[in-house]
Chains A and B, each alone.
Chain A
């Protein structure tokens, strides 16, 4: 069927890509109107889903093995079944379109170019969990997408895909668009829920606030990523078993990978999960490093994933159980493989750095991001992130001592695992990985502590004790 699809010049899919979610991205003659979408077979899957029982839809999604695409990779169908049995409260569904993890830029295309795909996926998901009110939480930095989405929602309602008694099924659904205002923490599902409730988007403590049990307005709430909801549509379109049969066994289906940084052809690519290795992706699909450069490091799953050295020797397991040496380039791009090597595949944002880059500088950029985005609710993250930023800035400016590198790592260790939400891990992993794996680069920027000028009143005070012996 895809034979007759033409793409805009410069946006043609690479032969190793399989475009499902991205079928209509940069497609010639395709626009965001519902007419275009219906002509392309849109809302047919919804019709099919509405003939099924909600439990059957959930069963189908469970069977497909679909895993969330927001970063954590939790099985979507299983998440849906966490709504307490015998629940009498209303159920809500929230679409997380707060794409703000640096390095991730897949949802942008869906909401800008193919909004109805998402809406259809959402209606199916709402039907499955019997939610009658759903929210698309869209980040503020997508102003155009907000307008497109509003228009698309109005169109869908006009056509009877939203509102009362959808397509005569007796199912009612209202979807509204709620815009964020530039806060990374709103991508955390409970922070997002608080943001919708009009509270400060502080993540909630779990337990007891698991969204599927106590979410929006204290009711069971399912929070799914944009891509996950589009994948739900794919599952229903293709059937759960057929979906599960494709790609990596534990993370089937297609994945959208966004590659940024130092490659010849950065961009977004939709691939069958696990069908490519990082090496194939970067060298073949993305055209390899820039002229005269070599790859140095890869952040495989968005800014918070632990960085991988390209010359790192990883231990892979052969089918017969023996151990073989491999590198990051040999790791397949599914959800789990990279996790075995201490990093994560997250939301599929691959950031590549070549040998021209200073790793402390890269870390400093990330630390600034996390210090800026920390919501400040819990102590370790609120106080630890600015501290890490100050340390890494000082090291980059040549005002750090070798001890500061260890201190930096130690501060990250003190944040990790002690915070309210996963931001604590997200902000400490980069520092832990960078300072461990590129320690020599950090040390190269430092000076012995006695050669440094005090950088603050506190440091001057501390210096008195350090230099006492020299002066005597």
Chain B
């Protein structure tokens, strides 16, 4: 939890997030190894490295995010190196390096959604879930609510441009989102909890 002393140490410095309470802690279990191996086996022989992204998805699905301890394990599973995995993890915005909330709001900021007032949604959600919108930057695009239940992130085009603004909450897409819809979604999810 200490401040990284330099840009290299930052790669493996954990970024604490209240979202962690809603996800299990990363742990290599025989089940996880088996599932990862199945992903590796999908690809032609000798091309284990292809599985790096699928295994990252597996880890993220299970544990919410790709924690520093997971990277060497992923590298080992797909016969790659930790720095290579770190290169992949830090490249894709769809891969989290800190834990999102239990319900992760991804709000489209693409041109079409922006034309339908999508840009106002992120600040609105921030306010609803108790996140400071000013804290969202290019380097740290995600904000997590203090109770770890919700998180919000502006993302690029969700490819539903005709019906903006669009918002993806975990796996569910909401179109033509208004503040009212946001209110309802949050209220419903709180009830589900």
A residues sitting closer than 8 Å to B (CB atoms) are 90, 99-105, 107-108, 133, 139-144, 147, 176, 178-184, 195-201, 217, 258-262, 266-268, 299, 303, 349, 351, 353, 357, 362, 365-366, 368-369, 372-373, 375
Q: Closest approach, in angstroms, between the C-beta of B44 and any C-beta of chain A? A: 7
Q: Flag if A201 contacts B94 (CB, 8 Å).
A: no
What A residues does B88 contact at CB under 8 A? 198, 200
Nearest CB to that of A268 among chain B residues?
B162
Partner of B114, one of A143, A176, A201, A365: A365
Inter-chain contacts of A101 with B (CB < 8 A): 157
B56 at the interface (CB under 8 A from A): yes
B61-79 toward A: CB 8 Å interface, digit per residue (1/0)? 0000000000000000010
Shortest CB distance A282–B (Å): 13
Q: Bound state CA distance, A266 and B110, in angstroms?
A: 16
Closest B-chain residue to A103, C-beta based? B161
Chain B proximity of A263: nearest CB distance (Å) = 9
Residues in A whose Cβ lies below 8 Å from that of B50:
178, 196-198
Q: Which of A107, A217, A299, A369 contacts B157 (CB 8 A)?
A: A369
The answer to whether the Cβ of B42 comes within 8 Å of any Cβ in the partner chain is: yes
Min distance, Cβ B92 to any Cβ of chain A, angstroms: 3
What is the bound-complex CA distance between A170 and B160, given in angstroms? 40
Known: A176-B42, A181-B92, A369-B156. A141 touches B161 (CB 8 A): no
A141 touches B162 (CB 8 A): no
How far, in whole Å, are A178 and B93 apart by their CA atoms in the complex? 17
B54 in contact (CB, < 8 A): yes
Tell me the minimal C-beta distance from B37 to chain A in angstroms.
Answer: 15
* Interface size counted on chain B using CB atoms at 8 A: 44
Determine which of A102, A142, A266, A372 lies in contact with B163 in the assembled complex, contact meaning CB atoms within 8 Å: A266
**16 extra interchain contacts, Cβ-Cβ under 8 A, other than A181-B56, A261-B111?**
A105-B159, A139-B159, A142-B159, A144-B171, A147-B171, A179-B53, A181-B53, A196-B50, A197-B50, A198-B49, A198-B78, A217-B44, A266-B163, A351-B112, A362-B111, A373-B156
Contacts A103-B112, A180-B92, A351-B115 given; indicate if A141 touches B159 (C-beta within 8 A).
yes
Q: Whole-angstrom distance between the alpha carbons of A267 and B80 in the complex?
A: 44
| Least distance between A14 CB and chain B CB atoms (Å) | 14
CB-based nearest A residue for B88: A200
A115: min CB distance to chain B, Å: 16
Contacts of B91 in A (CB 8 A): 183, 200-201, 375
Interface residues of B in 158-189 (CB under 8 A from A): 158-164, 168, 170-173
User: How many angstroms from the CA of A373 to the CA of B109 in the assembled complex?
Assistant: 13
Residues A178 and B160 in contact in the complex (CB < 8 Å), given A102-B112, A144-B171, A144-B173:
no
Contact with A along B37-57 (1 / 0, CB 8 A): 000001110010111111011
Contact call A349/B161, Cβ cutoff below 8 A? yes
Contact A184 B156 (CB under 8 A): yes
CB-CB under 8 A from B47, the residues of chain A are 197-198, 217
16 sampled A-B residue pairs with Cβ under 8 A: A99-B159, A100-B157, A102-B110, A105-B162, A143-B168, A144-B172, A176-B43, A180-B53, A181-B93, A181-B94, A184-B157, A198-B47, A198-B49, A200-B88, A259-B162, A266-B162
Q: Inside 8 A of A201's CB, which chain B residues have their CB? A: 91
Query: Any chain A CB within 8 A of the CB of B129?
Result: no
- Nearest residue, chain A, Cβ from B48: A198
Across the interface, name the chain B residue whose C-beta is closest to A142. B159
- Give the most central of B42, B159, B164: most A CB within 10 Å: B159
Residue in B78, B87, B156 whose beta carbon sits within 8 Å of that of A372 in the complex: B156
Residue B138 CB within 8 A of the other chain: yes
Asked if A197 meets B49 with Cβ closer than 8 Å, knowing A105-B161, A180-B92, A183-B93, the reply is yes
Given contact pairs A198-B80, A262-B115, A181 touches B95 in the complex (Cβ within 8 A): yes
Q: In the assembled complex, which residues on chain B have CB atoms less than 8 Å from the CB atom of A299?
A: 111
